[in-house]
Amino acid sequence: MTNRQILQAMSGLMAGMFVAILAGTVVANALPRIIADLQASQSSYTWVITAELLAMTATVPLWGKLSDLFNQKLLLQLSLALFVVGSLLAGFSQDVGLLIFSRVVQGVGAGGLTALAQIVMAAIIPPRRLGKYAGIFGAVFAVGTVAGPLIGGVLVDTSWLGWRWCFFIGVPFALLAIALLQRTLKLPTVRREAKIDFLGAFLIVAGVCALLIWVSLAGSEFDWMSWQTAVLTGGGVLLLIAAVVVEARVPEPVIPLGIFRNRTVTLTTVASLLVGVAMFGGTVFLSQYFQISLGKSPTVAGLMSLPMILGLLVSSTVAGQIITATGRWKVYLVAGSIIMTVGLGLLATIEADTPFALLSVYMAVMGVGVGMLMQNLVLAAQNDVPATELGAATSVLSFFRSMGGTIGTSVLGAILANRVATEMTKGLAEAGVPAGAGGSGDGGVPDMATLPEPMREIVEHAYGVATADLFLVATPVAALAVIAVLFIKEKPLKDTSGMERLTAESAGSDESAGTKASPAGVG
């Protein structure tokens, strides 16, 4: 395929990916208004976020497996259709029960988009040329990440639109993506006689959901050391052990366990998990820091994250272009992981009165590191597996990155809440105010507009200190990712696309699955 043909084929993929990212981020600034309008509880607030994330994370491996068995273009369009249905249900919801159900439907669709977009890219683009397009993919990720909270804030603040448009706004993008995919993406239909391992799929989804529900709700809905923790962790572990037993015995497992014998896949999976914990777990609370410690509006808070997103956008695009030109990729993984760790370490020094110019530099450094690292981990894994395992390898990395983000958000959120409570109690005591008078004991987020000046300063300081602590915890996690990346062995990037390799492998050519490039496939 020529560059023009690839860009045309990717237009639908990029539109679909933008929709998936938008679904996860647009609702963040709108949730307080949504929960108030639907007269729902604080636990419902948590479930509106968790339901989409759970469904997306748990179904990524299933979409990856289906992509190895069925037409990938049709699966992409199906996942977009599910997203449209979920978005319309959410936008028309009159009670929180339907809203949570609609978020599950959205999450299943987003899981398909997350896994399949990268799988299809690997199918049509050789690894040797994939770096450039992976950089574009990273840029779309960056734009969707920053646009979501910003669009959500603007929609909520616009009286004649309102929060329902946070869900409706993704529908035209999804319909456009379906039309673009139909017109521009040409993939052969691969018909394989295979049975889907429904038992293994059920056990994986149930086990993962049990553990993710635990990390999402522990510390807020129930104590970390409680009977709920014992039931969810014990049940989750037992279900996953059963899944491993089933997957080891069936001819067509959802996640082929043999894939982890590949050193590159194992190390990139570990690194993806750690990146998810460090990046998502740390940055998700920055918007709250902007609004509470720095006193900014939701819309301004969205704009303040631009330095980090711009750093990610520029570094992912530039690194991708250089990788395509030179064929060298490991140096960018190592440099990206180190720069990300340094950025997190710098953010661990912030306070309530840190100048925005300095904060921008810290965020940009972290963004540059993430941009060089995140997409190129997928490239390294895709380059080192047979074409028949491209779907499984890609979905495994996406799955562990999402799971890392869920774990990081939950655990670091619990640390934030505890540290805020401690600092509030300390600040109130020093001011001679009885503990609990500031309203911090209920675990709610304070309304800064209603607080008197002395109390506002105590709250701003508490959230500034607590947010810095989050990044201090995330920094050693990112340092572990550096170690994992260092042990990845650099191998030459293949010059044949996934479809070409699959054809060669099915014809019995073992050489095409090796690490040596095949010059005959250069486009």
Most confident of 87-96, 220-229, 290-299: 87-96
Q: At what angle do helices 306-326 and 356-383 cross, to 10 degrees?
A: 30
pLDDT score, position 70: 77
Three-state secondary-structure class, residue 218: strand
pLDDT > 90: percent of the chain: 13
**For 408, left (φ over 0), alpha (ψ -120 to 50), or beta?**
alpha
Q: Which two tokens stand for residue 82?
A: 């599910």
The mean pLDDT value of the chain amounts to 79
- How many Å separate Cα 476 from the centre of its chain? 20
- How many Å separate Cα 329 from the centre of its chain? 22
Mean pLDDT over 509-516 rounds to 44
Rounded to 5°, the CA angle 417-422-425 comes to 120
Residue with more model confidence, 62 or 134: 62
Q: How far apart are CA 191 and CA 236, in angstroms?
A: 34
Contact (Cβ atoms closer than 8 angstroms) between residue 91 and residue 135: no
Most confident of 3-7, 266-270, 407-411, 513-517: 266-270
Q: Which residues contact 456 (CB under 8 A, 6 or more apart)?
A: 448
Q: Is 11 exposed, middle or buried (0-12, 13-18, 19+ CB in 10 A)?
A: middle
For residue range 169-203, list pLDDT tens digits in order.
888 888 888 888 888 777 766 555 556 777 887 88
pLDDT score, position 447: 58
The helices-and-strands tally (H runs, E runs) of the chain is 20, 0
Q: How far apart are CA 148 and CA 153, in angstroms?
A: 9
Buried b (16+ CB within 10 A) or exposed e, 75-89: bbbbbbebbbbbbbb
3-state SS, 350-369, equals CCCCCCHHHHHHHHHHHHHH
Q: Which residues contact 368 (CB under 8 A, 6 or more apart)?
A: 311, 312, 314, 315, 336, 339, 343
* Complete DSSP assignment for 409-432: HHHHHHHHHHHHHHHHHHHHHHTT
Three-state secondary-structure class, residue 447: coil
pLDDT greater than 50 at residue 286: yes
Query: What is the pTM (predicted TM-score) of this model?
Result: 0.78
pLDDT score, position 354: 85
* Nearest to 480, CA basis, from 211, 271, 251, 194: 271
pLDDT greater than 80 at residue 76: yes
* Nearest to 25, CA basis, from 155, 177, 133: 155
Q: How far apart are CA 130 and CA 126, in angstroms?
A: 6
Q: How far apart are CA 336 and CA 318, in angstroms?
A: 12
Q: Calculate the alpha carbon distances from 458 to 296, 355, 452 in Å.
A: 17, 18, 10
* Nearest to 297, CA basis, from 29, 42, 33: 29
Please list the alpha-helical segments (H only) found in 305-389.
306-326, 330-347, 356-383
Instruction: Look at the chain and count its residues.
Output: 523
Q: At what angle do helices 3-25 and 42-69 cross, to 10 degrees?
A: 150
pLDDT score, position 259: 83
Residue with more model confidence, 263 or 124: 263
pLDDT score, position 281: 60
For residue range 408-443, list pLDDT tens digits in order.
777 787 788 778 888 888 877 776 665 554 444 444
